[in-house]
Structure formats: structure tokens, C-alpha cells
Chain A
């Protein structure tokens, strides 16, 4: 079972490794940028999946961390600090801190209240972004400088592409380790049956909060990457429709599976791209497609590849 998954993952990674030279040879280098953007969103979706799919926490505000990560990098660049380590470190730390704060309040609630409270916090951050006139207000701002790393030039399309690929694989692997660990078992058990968890001695709150914080940190990393990708940041990164999009990737791909969020990000953004090229009214077609896909793939796209154990 595991080896079959490993083979599928290896094939997937090899395809992504081979993609840039192939599309360049075909005279379509544009695809490098597209797939890079998709992979950045896949990282965000992987992080949301940790709390949504495995933890049962329906966070409708995950775009907050994209925004915080992007602003962390952008603001440092604005003040002339270009170190990539600093940008990414600040993006991850700031997102983790904000997730810790948001989580400590919202995890006390559940169900619809949890959805609404995470949405409300993110809307607050969105409006905060709009009010930051120094950093472009609702127009946003260009990055003064991309994040700089030794030996690595994020201005170079290929360098950046492979960096994102490595980080995506790392995010998937890290999540896999976490959900299989003792910690992950507690997290998934609390989602499965909270009363039972409490009866055998687990207090789920602290475990959920840590998962929420880790997911926020990973989302912040995706945010810093996204700012570098577009070379621009705007409060729109934190708009609630963006949160919805990330959530949809996870649901479409398959909640609580390793491959789900990645498959969902690729499927959603590819279809979006193709439709947008075909007609400007692409959303009219995408909507029904999404509804059909949820009806027909109940376990998500990843459900087609493997069945649950036993």
C-alpha cells in the first residue's frame, strides 16, 4: 500500500522536475509560471488540510496567512532588507503568532461558530491591509526587492520553480509525518470522536491549537512565496474568496489525504486557467463543474487513487 503511494508520488515529482525543460522545448515557457503558482497554492492547501482534513477544524480564513506571509516579506523589502532567510523566517514566525492568537480564541468554539470566527478574524486582517496606506492601501505595492538567497535567484524563473517544488514536497512530507505521529493520532482522534477522546484522557484543545499554529506557519511560507511570485502584494491575498478557494482545493482533492490538497490545487487552477483562456465568462462554467465534481467525487480526487485501509 505504502509503496504504491510512494510510486505515485515519485512519478508526480519526476513529472514536475521534467516539466520546465519540456515546456521550454515546446516553446511554452509560460507553463513554468503557471505550475509554480499552482504549487504555491498547493502548499497553502496542504497546510489547510492539516487542520481541516485531519483536525476537523473548518477554518474559513486560511488566506490570512497568505497575506501575513506576503506582507512580512513585502514590508521587510520595503525597508530595504532583502535577505530571503529574514523574509521567509519573518513570514513563518508572524503567521504562526497570528495563528496562535486566532486559534486560541476560535478553537474554543466549534461548528458554524468556528467557521464564522475564523472568517471574521481574516476580514479584520483584510481591512487592516487596506488601511495600511504606507504599504499601498487597497492597491497593494510592488516588492522593492525579491527575497535574496545565496546561490538562488528568485528572479530566475527556473530557480524559483525548483525552490517551490522542493518546498511543496517538504510540506507534504512534513504533514505526512505529523499526522502519523502520536500528535497526529490525537488530532485525528479528536476529530473522529471528541467524547471518546476526552473519556480516555485527551484534552484536545492544546493539540488543536498547535496544529492550527503549524498550519498558519506553513500558510505564511506560501504567502512569502506568492509575494515573490507575483512580485506584488495586495490585501486581496486575504480576501475571503481566497480562503474559499483554498478550502475548495482541499475538499475537491480529498480532505484528510496526503495527495488531496495537491490534486485539488492542480485541478482547480488548471481548469480555471483553461476556461479563462477560452471565455471571459469562465466562472459561469467553473461553478457547475465544481458542484458536479463534489457530487461525483465524494471522497475527492485522491479517492480515485487509493482506498481507505481495510
Chain B
């Protein structure tokens, strides 16, 4: 589904992505972990099209997308959620999700009919809000949602674009224990419905519960890619990362 070869990104003297090779198979949840500053966000930004790599290739569903802009990638089925909540604060929760539905339903050069009463946008949006558990809050401005709810909305917007591959950049960031638990359960249900996901996450509990495979990023390089059990026992990984945490 996704093939990354020799992805390289340099910021001045800092090699943020140092020849990354990375694969995501159809239907799998592939987690990316690594210590702070390992280049996880740089990596996902290149996948999403917000950063242009200096070298390397990104192939998505058989097509080279290395040079495509973020909106074009999104329309091809790459959905992403942001580490720092990025919603439309002055729109309601429902409007936020409806916009994401609209983004995938052809061009928007329709200037006359009100979007707010457009059932082809509102109904799919309601369904996604219901899936993430925000139904009761659909009329609330995103700015007035609690932090955890905004995180849910963040994921809902990525989902509403019906992505073929979902890039989740620390979906649990800043969440309380209970909220995290609910988010993990929700992502678990996505996983069971065979949505392909790349999950960048600090929360090891979440990663080991959700991931089919884990790639460990250290200093911009993939130190290891394997199934969770093997990653847990991998010496290099322990030294580079888990050891620091434990």
C-alpha cells in the first residue's frame, strides 16, 4: 500500500530523515516509535506532503507521490491527523466533519445551495461523529470542545475523508488516562475494520496493543521493523529507546 525508499531530509546540519525505508501493508497498523527528536514528525510530514524530501521515493498504491502536494495526496486517499490539534475552531463539530466529507466529494465550485442543509454532506458527517462518540456535541463550536473531544474531532476529520491510509500523529497527545483508553478502544475498532494505519505514538501501551508491526526511528534512521513481541526483545531497540524510558 505504501512504500518508502531511502527517504532523506536535511535541515542544515541536522539529518532529520536519514535514508528511511518503510512499508505499510494493506490492512495493517504500522506504528512508528522513537525518542524525542528522532524525526517522527518530519517523517510523517513528508508522507503527508507538507515537507518535500531531499531524496528518496514515496509510492502510494502503486503511484509515485513524492512530488505531489498535500491536498492532492489527501484526495488520493491519504488522511492525516495532527499532533497538535488542528480543527476549525469557529465552526461546529458537525461542520468540521462535513467539510472533510466535502473535500472528498468532487470540486467545491458550487456557489448557491447552502452547504449546511446538504444531506449528502451532513449525513456521512453525522455517521463519523457518531463513530467517534461525539454525536451529542455536533452543534458545539470546535473551540468550545474539551481537549479530549477536540482530539476525537481531529481523528473524525481524518476519517471523514474515507482514507485508504490513515496517518495518525500522536492521537493520544495531551489526553488523560481515561480519554486515552477510549481513543485506544476506538482505534482498535478501526483496526478490526481493516483500515490501514500509520500510528506515530509515545504511549507504549497503545502502540503494543494496536500495532501489527512497529518501526523504531532513531536519529532519523529506522533502527528496526518487526512485530511487537520481537521489538520488545530487540537489544538495539532497548538500548536506543525503551531502555531510556524504563
Question: What 0/1 readout, one digit per residue, does chain A (251-284) give for beta carbons within 8 Å of chain B?
Answer: 0000000000000000000000000000000000
Residue of A nearest to B81 (CB): A199
CB neighbours of A182 from chain B (8 A): 102, 108, 110-111, 113, 115, 118, 121
Please measure, in the bound complex, the distance between the C-alpha atom of A177 and the C-alpha atom of B48, giving whole angstroms.
Answer: 33
Verify A200–B103 contact, CB threshold 8 A: yes
CB neighbours of B115 from chain A (8 A): 180-182, 184-185
Interface magnitude class on chain A: 20 to 34
Please measure, in the bound complex, the distance between the C-alpha atom of A195 and the C-alpha atom of B86, giving whole angstroms.
Answer: 8
Question: Which of A197, A200, A207: most chain B Cβ within 10 A?
Answer: A200
Q: Nearest chain B CB to A8's CB is how many angstroms away?
A: 20
B28 within 8 A of A: no
Verify B86–A202 contact, CB threshold 8 A: no
Q: Nearest chain B CB to A79's CB is how many angstroms away?
A: 34
* B-contacting residues, A176-217, CB 8 Å: 177-178, 180-186, 188-189, 192-193, 195-203, 206-207, 210
A310 within 8 A of B: yes
Question: Which of B86, B111, B114: most chain A Cβ within 10 A?
Answer: B111
Residue of A nearest to B69 (CB): A203
CB neighbours of B82 from chain A (8 A): 195-196, 199
* Given A192-B91, A196-B88, A199-B48, A181-B113 contact (CB < 8 Å): yes
B140 within 8 A of A: yes
CB neighbours of B108 from chain A (8 A): 182-183, 185-186, 202, 207
Q: Nearest chain A CB to B38's CB is how many angstroms away?
A: 22
B239 within 8 A of A: no
B75 within 8 A of A: yes
Q: Nearest chain B CB to A262's CB is how many angstroms away?
A: 21
A308 within 8 A of B: yes
Verify B91–A189 contact, CB threshold 8 A: yes
Verify A203–B71 contact, CB threshold 8 A: yes
B80 within 8 A of A: yes
Please measure, in the bound complex, the distance between the C-alpha atom of A192 and the C-alpha atom of B87, giving whole angstroms.
Answer: 9
Q: Nearest chain B CB to A91's CB is how many angstroms away?
A: 21
Verify B88–A189 contact, CB threshold 8 A: yes
Q: Nearest chain B CB to A54's CB is how many angstroms away?
A: 11
Binding site for A on B (CB under 8 A): 48, 50, 69-72, 74-75, 79-80, 82, 86-92, 95, 98-100, 102-104, 108-116, 118, 121, 139-141, 144, 157-158, 160-161
